[in-house]
Structure 1
């Protein structure tokens, strides 16, 4: 595949990451390639932010008026489609924006998850859907948010390959060819609004696993448990 975005250094070595996990943590055996990546990047000391930084941030404010009030439904704009790119950084930026954005007025919980699934790799051995769906509020919270017309927009500020990933590639540049899964850390800002002019904003950060095989478009493989610098 072409050289990654010039805003970053060279891509990470997926197989090397797996090997380091196996050598460095006693008792870990038979790890899948994706599990090896996630465990390596989630090691204590690799994160510049606590685990909570990658969790969904939502605000379910009490509804005004009778409890039987039903929220209105906005026009149903198409769920954002994955970008057609072979650059893992470009794809990760778009994926982070989608993960941090939602509109409970326009989509149900199930519809939102269905839209996110379209971003996932179709290679089951590398797809960690649970780590992605965990970024979305559960159905009960989504329902409360919907009652308050809660929605969020996101702005991506920066994206790069984590230092640990770059070091792995330096050790074995050819190892990425096993799965072509890259780790990309994205930082940005999320703005949340709800009924009665309520609003709030906060910084966000996440490390994503993105698969970009040669001659194919990139796809999301998973969300790393901790943000890796």
Structure 2
């Protein structure tokens, strides 16, 4: 019987963002994410869907694989979609979440997956938390096992919104956003996972993303929050 080896999902791996990233990301975003951390639940790696008997979580965010450099562009991006050219932070976050919850080991290598994800990131390294984003991808051995079973996933997004804490912080200090133009967006949706011989299942997903949308520029992904902000 074929078994699902992993679900490439947005699980929470650490107790918070790294100290240098908390310092680097603007005060508005840090305040919103950390102030609400004690009132929201950790995003479960298991979700509410069907689980395969060999479910294994991707590597922790502090593991070597999560902080590795992105592959060279020549590696291609396989089935990973290109980032949309839009200036709406909610629309971009919805598209980014769908990208993060989707993968196809049948035609995409791990390096291609990482290269495709890297293209969605902001080029401003001060605000880009690539370690947490790349940490969503399983290590090379686990990815290979997933590929042996033709594991792949598609995702659907049901809604995206600015968390109430972010809207309140913005109302309290509208000028704060102009420091880096980073918006906090929570996205909800579902992930459909399938593998060889008809195996599969569905899981609910939720994630809070930091999206940078500077005036007259397309949006870009900055970071994944360690907790879901309602």
TM-score by length of 2: 0.74
Within the alignment, does 1:175 sit opposite 2:176 as a pair?
A: yes
Q: Alpha-carbon deviation of 1:54?
A: 9.8
Corresponding residue number in structure 2 for 1:98: 99
Q: Deviations 1:79-121 (Å, cap 9, x if unpaired)?
A: 3111111000000000000000000111111110000000000
For residues 180 and 209 of structure 1, the distance between their equivalents in structure 2, rounded to whole angstroms, comes to: 10
Q: 1:44 aligns with which of 37, 41, 46?
A: 37
Query: How many residues were matched structurally?
Result: 187
For residues 35 and 110 of structure 1, the distance between their equivalents in structure 2, rounded to whole angstroms, comes to: 33
Q: Alpha-carbon deviation of 1:153?
A: 0.2
RMSD: 2.8
Q: Deviations 1:127-159 (Å, cap 9, x if unpaired)?
A: 000111112222221111111000000000000
**Does the 8 A contact of 1:154 with 1:191 survive in 2?**
yes
Large movers: runs of 4+ above 4 Å: 57-62
Unaligned segments of structure 1, at least 5 residues: 1-26, 63-75
Q: Which has the larger radius of gyration?
A: 1
Corresponding residue number in structure 1 for 2:62: none
SS in 2 for 1:125: coil
Corresponding residue number in structure 2 for 1:202: 203
Unaligned segments of structure 2, at least 5 residues: 1-18, 56-76
**Does the 8 A contact of 1:95 with 1:220 survive in 2?**
yes
| Counterparts in 2 of 1:189 and 1:224: CA distance versus 1, 3 Å | same
Corresponding residue number in structure 2 for 1:133: 134
**Does the 8 A contact of 1:60 with 1:144 survive in 2?**
no
SS in 2 for 1:45: helix
| Counterparts in 2 of 1:159 and 1:53: CA distance versus 1, 3 Å | farther
Corresponding residue number in structure 1 for 2:228: 227
**Does the 8 A contact of 1:128 with 1:221 survive in 2?**
yes
